[in-house]
Amino acid sequence: MTQTPRYTLTQRLLHWLIAFLALLTLGIGMILGSLGFEGTQEIFGKATTNAFYTGHKTGGVLILIFMFLRLGVRLVSGAPPYPSPLNAFERVASRTVHGLLYVALLTMPILGWLATAAGGYPVQFFAWNLPGMIGQDKALSEILFSLHGIVGWVSVGLLILHIGGALQHWLIKRDAVMTRMSLFR
Ligand code: HEM
């Protein structure tokens, strides 16, 4: 029996690493965005709130680094051929959602980084503070934070479509699409 062609091991490792980081960082971002600094402190306490902020910023910077790496690998290695061709709708839908996920996951951390710096807050990466890149500007910071939040919600929508599509191939159509990205056969 011929085996399903798969993404390279580097691409599959990066996919699952970024998936884990994105779900975690988006989850924390939703908490911080909906409760705000004071609200988060009231419910979770000071230490956990600080850990949420550091974790969210660190996760975002890691996603940015891994996404650049992933884009480079994708441009060099491409994508494997499908074992059986997708129909026209699946082809357009998967290309659009994958493309928009690349754009969203590269844009979101950059917006968060610049919004944080413009607001005069530290751009934390683990125990370090990274350079802000732009000067302090409160009005600009508010605009950038709004955009950061909008791209965040768009990403949630894209991920629901993406994970729904993957599960549909895996559990309903039972074809080999999931195998292309899985770490183990
Ligand atoms: C339970 C969660 C997830 C599952 C089951 C899943 C599954 C898959 C599968 C099967 C593919 C290959 C599709 C194909 O060959 O046409 C794929 C590709 C992709 N996934 Fe996911 N995924 C998940 C989470 C995520 C998350 C959280 C992200 C974003 C952070 C993401 C971003 C992408 C992107 C951008 C591609 C296209 C890869 C490329 O062609 O370069 N996935 N995923």
Confidence of residue 1 (pLDDT cuts 50, 70, 90): low
CATH number at residue 69: 1.20.950
Contact of 116 with 57, CB cutoff 8 Å: yes
The structural domain count of the chain equals 1
Say how many Å lie between the CA of residue 180 and the centre of ligand 1. 10
Q: What is the pTM of this model?
A: 0.94
Q: Is residue 117 part of a domain?
A: yes
Say how many Å lie between the CA of residue 144 and the centre of ligand 1. 27
- C-alpha 144: how far from its chain's center? 18
Domain that holds residue 84: 9-180
Q: Is residue 118 part of a domain?
A: yes
Q: Is residue 3 part of a domain?
A: no
Contact of 77 with 11, CB cutoff 8 Å: yes
Spatial separation of the C-alpha atoms in residues 61 and 106, rounded to whole Å:
10
Q: Is residue 2 part of a domain?
A: no
Report the atom number in ligand 1 closest to the C-alpha of 80: 15
Spatial separation of the C-alpha atoms in residues 153 and 116, rounded to whole Å:
19
Q: Is residue 4 part of a domain?
A: no
Spatial separation of the C-alpha atoms in residues 18 and 24, rounded to whole Å:
10
Reported as a single tens digit per residue, the pLDDT across 25-62 is 999 999 999 999 999 999 999 999 999 999 999 999 99
Q: Is residue 1 part of a domain?
A: no
The position carrying tokens 């559990």 is 171
